[in-house]
Amino acid sequence: MPYDTSFSPTPRPARRRRSLLAAAALGCVCLIAGCGGGSGGGAAAQPREGGGGTSSPPSLSPSPAKGGPSARATSVPPSSSKSASRTVSGPLSGKTVVIDPGHNPRNHEHTREIGRQVDIGTTHKECDTTGTSTDSGYAEAEFTLDVAHRLRALLQAQGAEVVLTYDNDRPYGPCVDERARIGNRAGADAVVSVHADGSAVGNRGFHVILPALVHGGAADTSKIVEPSRELGTRIAGLFVRATGSAPSNYVGGNTGLDTRKDLGGLNLSTVPKVFIECGNMRDPKDAALLTSAGWRQKAAQGIADGISSYLRG
Write out the catalytic residue numbers: 277
H runs (alpha helix) in the chain: 13-33, 111-115, 140-156, 176-185, 225-243, 264-267, 284-290, 293-312
Q: Exposed, middle or buried by CB within 10 Å (0-12, 13-18, 19+), for 23? A: buried
CA-to-CA distance for 89 and 262, rounded, in angstroms? 38
Say how many Å lie between the first and final Cα of the chain, rounded: 27
Peptide bond into 272 cis (omega under 30): no
Q: Contact, 310 vs 302, CB < 8 A?
A: no
| 251: enclosing H helix or E strand | none
CA-to-CA distance for 171 and 210, rounded, in angstroms? 29
Q: Which amino acid is at 137?
A: G
Selection from 254, 208, 250, 216 nearest residue 233 by Cα: 208
CB atoms under 10 Å from CB of 121, counted, come to 20
